[in-house]
Structure formats: C-alpha cells, structure tokens
Structure 1
C-alpha cells in the first residue's frame, strides 16, 4: 500500500509524470489530486426520460449503475456508469459534504429514489 496524505510536508513535492518520449503523446506533467474513497454504495438503476446528466459526457440513459462514494474528507460524490462498463462519470451537481459518515446510506437511498425510473 502507498500512504496518501492530504497536504505536502517539508521538503515534499507534487508528483509529476516522467513521460515516455517515444510513446504516449501529450502526457500530463501533473498527476492531479489523489482522493481516497473511504466507503461506497452501488445500486443498479434505469434512468428515466431525459437520462442522468454527467460532467464528462453529458446525458447517459438506459441501464446504469449508481455509485455513492464517501471520501476521507467526508464528501460524497455520485457517479454513474453504463451497466457493466468500465468508465464512471460524475453526476452533475452530485457532490456534497456530509454532516456524518453514517449519512451515506440515506444520501444513496435518496439518489436512487430520484434517478431510478424503471417505469419511465
């Protein structure tokens, strides 16, 4: 396991991509922020008319899997994927700070109730 810390300490620096000059073109020099998912809940849903809006690809429709992720800072993020696909997409507006980690179940249940529309 690799220990992950929220902030850099004395004499520490942000990780950077070494790059493969003969391989991948356009490798990013900054690897980005690392977030640790402390807990998560998943449920298969069927998007209703209009689908589910995501930040990355816009509207997704049909049979989806909804995942509610709680990070180590107490923030929940909602993500969806096409059922059995590899890619996850952030639900637009689907991020909030929870008062307590125990609230994850309630938030996930509400998200399922809002987004799951098997009857259309």
Structure 2
C-alpha cells in the first residue's frame, strides 16, 4: 500500500536551506528561506516543488517525482524539509 491513501492533498512547509542549499532541475542550487510542497500523484509517487518563500516561481527539486514510503506522505515531506535544512547542494537521491 502506498502513502497516497493516507494523505491526498499537498503538504506545504517552510525551511531555511542549510549551507550549500538544495538542487533544482530548472535553476540549479537555491538557498535561503524556502517553501516546499510535496504532492501525491495517482501512481503512488510524489512531486516535490520548492520556491523562495513568497516568490511566484516554483522549481522541481532534483529527484522528483519520488516514491512515497509506506509510512506515508507526511514522512516523505518531513524528510524533504530535513534535506533542505541540511543543505549540501543535494537533491532527493544524492
């Protein structure tokens, strides 16, 4: 069973990127105060987007889409927020 049944709405959180920021597909590394959106897909995976807080543009976090763990979408979302806070110029699977 995927985590989609546990949470079918996007989760949004805020974090300040750690040293080195995080990697996006469109613009490379971004840093600073960021907003993260983790959205379930019908195929049991999740899209992860990121933006500078209060900006209009969203970017795909490198490695998205990714599998939703059996623990559910909230677990994935918290892991992404931890990744952002850790920094290191990484994407989801680095």
Q: TM-score by structure 1 length?
A: 0.59
Max Rg structure = 1
1: distance between equivalents of 2:54 and 2:69? 32
1: distance between equivalents of 2:15 and 2:30? 12
Match of 2:77 in 1: 108
Q: For structure 2, list consecutive stretches of 5 or more residues without a partner in the other structure.
A: 1-7, 87-94
Q: Which has the higher contact order (CA 8 A, sep 6+)?
A: 2
Structure 1 residue runs of 4 or more that deviate by more than 3 Å after TM superposition: none
Over residues 68-101 of structure 1, what are the superposed CA-to-partner deviations in whole Å (9 max), with x where a residue is unaligned? 111122211111100011111001113213355x
Structure with the largest fraction of helix: 2
| Count of aligned residue pairs for this structure pair | 79
Instruction: Please point out which of 44, 48, 70 is paired with 2:14.
Output: 44
Instruction: Please point out which of 52, 56, 59 is paired with 2:29.
Output: 59
Q: For structure 1, list consecutive stretches of 5 or more residues without a partner in the other structure.
A: 1-37
